[in-house]
Structure 1
Amino acid sequence: MTATTTTHTELIDGYLDAGRDELIELVEQLIAIDSQIPPHADERAIVAFLSERLTEFGLGELSVIGPSEERPSLFLRMRGSGGGRTLMLNGHTDTKPVGEARGLWTTEPLDATHRDGNIYGLGATDMKAAVAAMIFAARAIKETGTPLRGDLVIGMIADEEAGAQLGAKYVAPFVEDVDAILIGEPSGWEHDWQGIHLVSRGVCCFRVIVTGTQMHSSLSDRMPSVNASLKLAELMTRIGSELELPFTAHPLGGVGPTLNTGVMLDGGTFFGVVPGRAEFACDLRTVPGMTKQQVAEGIERWLEGCRAADPELVVEYSFEPGLDWIPWSEMDAEHPLVAATQAAALDVLGEAPPLAVFPGGTDAPWYSELGIPTLPSFGPGVLTCAHGPNEYVSVESVHQAARMYARIAVDFCG
């Protein structure tokens, strides 16, 4: 690192240290804005707030892209002097819903609460803290006069939590003059900064539907009937051990696919009625090399065997629209953005986390499929508490994120 770079790094750290409280306040303000999808499927309020704050900060050009007024994604472009590489820091503004876990929250989900060095609130780790840290990284670069040759772009994207059809998948073709993207998804599961994730697994969601005999339940001992729910229960207990899908374990940790059975259940009409229809939903996380056709063939082979073993079984499956196939994504370990991320982590954390596979899906494939190298996950927080009650992010990890994002941008764009 040159003397000039060291000076700018010190200035950036000094600026971020002085603005620690303001950064955390921004995280709190973002948590307070309801951007759950479902049920609302509307990011207008959080985009309006971010647009106002970014205009106040005077960081650069703002643009809004979306398929409808209710589903906006916001972009900030901070222009460099020219001749350098352009980096986009990417975060999503929506959250999963509080859902049936509402009674398990010990705080109000939309009211940021501090406890034991953590900020509790819906979207704290997934991923409003990262969005705030990205904004403050850009602000620190601008306010300290740190030169960038390339542009720094921040993408604040809608609809990630529902499959990205109206978010990253929609906006990706409009992303221009960007050489690489870093996504700030939480990169720990047991502790902060557990990995620099070069791979995000894909998502494939499907339903298994059983048809039975809907009839008066008092006659089930006198007339032939098929209870769809009982047939379904048997299939649910078998699919995990019997469904065979070809894959090659990824060399980063030997990671393979994960099948989550029964993420949703539906069936039956009411008391007094033999269930004539029942279904369960499955959430499959895929790894590089797997295809939707392979999954479809594997499911059909398994169902054919189940039908052959039980002549009474009437069963079919269907892929979930919009979540039928979210591709996996992978970044080359030799890409300059990886080196910049490792260097920033080493400087701020004292060591660079290992290269790894992100457990879930991200917005990465929608960019990488269009030829933009994308690092799927390097952000504050732990994935363990996301999508459930008492979501939190550590205050320290938010400050670390801002410092590292600034360094990554200066390295990559400078």
Structure 2
Amino acid sequence: MSQTTPVPFSAQQQQWYEQACARIDAERLKQLLFSITDIHSPTGMARAASEFMAARLATAGLKSRYMPMTETSGNVLAEYRGSGGGAALMLYAPIDTHLDCDEAEREWTGGATDADMQPRAKLVGDWVYGLGSSNPKAMVATLTEIATAVVESGIPLRGDLLVGMADGGMPVDISARQHAGMSNGVLHLLNRGAAADFAVVMKPWNWVYHEEPGMGWFKLRVHGTLGYAGVPRGTPGFRSSVVPAAAVIEELERWLVGYAECNTSGVVAPHGWISGVRSGDPERAAFPSAVTEIFFDVRINPRTTPADVKAQFAAFVADLQTRRPELKLDWEMYGSVPGGTTDERNWVIQSARRGWEHIEGRPHGVPDLLGGQTDGTALRRYGVPTARIGWPWPAQGATEPVAEGLGGMGATYVPDLLPCARKIMYVVIDTLTRAREELGL
């Protein structure tokens, strides 16, 4: 981890920074967060939320437009231009939520009734609950508040401030909605005018990250024969696919742990988790399935290609077959997103760390290792140097019961967002009040 390069604000820049921060309105941020959380926006269905935010950014004084992708899906791109000769900095967040939370999902999500798992907003004091209120809606609301404060402050920017919000940011692949997800929205945005010299992605965890993992999706199938419950065990020709799958799952879990250990580097720890097992037909319980399928997501370090991860998994399966010749297995990689990294010495990373240190009052140091994947990987792969900045997460002291295992994606304590807003504001002032030459451009 490189040291933060000191580039002090001038007296004028410090004044501008304080002037802009003074315009950040916690109550306005909270009300916007409530409003956008109350607009249901599952992946591939974010049109209403995106149209709402496009209008909100226009009202704030930015040139804003809604960019449709399908009948139900679209993105937001807003711009506030400076006087010229400066950089273009994009503040970015996804706008879609990870779940639909409809009846079709209740069987596998557990049908949680907690406040953070509802597709509607609930306001309790400074807490906002509802599906995606923390991730991604808190980011959407905070970046909008930052942009609004910049406009209201009247600071004479040289560079251009962009605000981007895209559908398809969740790590899903919704085939019924033209395969929405896996960063399809931000790629659409980047291909249609969202040209930036630098980007800041707001995402949970109170650190600055210069890189993030990608992900690989695999299916591992255990083969047997179709059976019938009326025949005794030991019947010639019958071979269960379900029972051996239990042993395969244990082997796979051990491999995933070892994979993460072997592939950890930089600030990325590429964890993997078995996501599910699929076999048989509950309407035909008398017939044991001929195939049991295990599927999982494994994260990919920026210094490891999806092809290399594929080769590592192939070696695991080959070794397992050698040790357990009675197993009949096949597999496929059916999804992949490479990781992305930005040089730690790049202006936007250094500026973000300076902002972090300014608010925290201490050196940045080495952040917690990261396993979460965002659209920041796509931004970096498209050549946009990107810093990821976050806030303490999950929020502590929730007033309502929240679902376990998801890290508080639908519970936001608004005061937690304000230090992060001031850190990002530091990057805005630090970057957009300078000439391109000062930024290494």
| TM-score, normalisation: structure 2 | 0.82
Partner residue in 2 for 1:350: 361
Partner residue in 2 for 1:6: 14
CA contact (8 A) 1:123 1:386 kept: no
Matched, 1:42 2:45: yes
Paired AA for residue 90 in structure 2: M
Matched, 1:239 2:249: no
Report the alpha carbon displacement of residue 388 of structure 1 after superposing the two structures with TM: 6.1
Partner residue in 2 for 1:159: 168
Paired AA for residue 220 in structure 2: V
CA contact (8 A) 1:33 1:45 kept: yes
**What pairs up with 1:4-403 in 2 under 5 angstroms?**
4-16=12-24, 19-37=25-43, 41-59=44-62, 61-97=63-99, 98=101, 99=105, 100-106=109-115, 109-115=118-124, 117-161=126-170, 162=172, 163-186=181-204, 188=205, 193=206, 195-221=207-233, 222-242=235-255, 247-252=262-267, 255-261=268-274, 263-269=275-281, 270-320=284-334, 324-351=335-362, 353-356=364-367, 357-375=369-387, 377-382=388-393, 387=406, 391-403=410-422
Partner residue in 1 for 2:427: 408
Report the alpha carbon displacement of residue 157 of structure 1 after superposing the two structures with TM: 1.0
CA contact (8 A) 2:183 2:378 kept: no
What CA deviation, in whole Å up to 9, does each residue of 1:361-407 have, x standing for no partner? 111222222221112x2133526978467732221122223322222
Report the alpha carbon displacement of residue 107 of structure 1 after superposing the two structures with TM: 5.8
Distance 1:76 1:351 in 2: 34
CA contact (8 A) 1:130 1:185 kept: yes
Distance 2:237 2:428 in 1: 69
Distance 2:343 2:295 in 1: 34
What CA deviation, in whole Å up to 9, does each residue of 1:63-98 have, x standing for no partner? 333532322111001101100111101100001114
Paired AA for residue 285 in structure 1: R
Distance 1:128 1:371 in 2: 26
CA contact (8 A) 1:86 1:150 kept: yes
CA contact (8 A) 1:125 1:382 kept: no
Distance 2:70 2:115 in 1: 36
What CA deviation, in whole Å up to 9, does each residue of 1:165-192 have, x standing for no partner? 5312333233454111111111x2xxxx
Report the alpha carbon displacement of residue 205 of structure 1 after superposing the two structures with TM: 0.8
CA RMSD, Structure 1 to Structure 2 (Å): 2.4
Distance 1:202 1:390 in 2: 20
Distance 1:140 1:7 in 2: 14
Paired AA for residue 243 in structure 2: L
Report the alpha carbon displacement of residue 13 of structure 1 after superposing the two structures with TM: 2.5
Paired AA for residue 56 in structure 1: T
CA contact (8 A) 1:208 1:316 kept: yes
Matched residue of 1:400: which SS?
Answer: helix
| TM-score, normalisation: structure 1 | 0.87
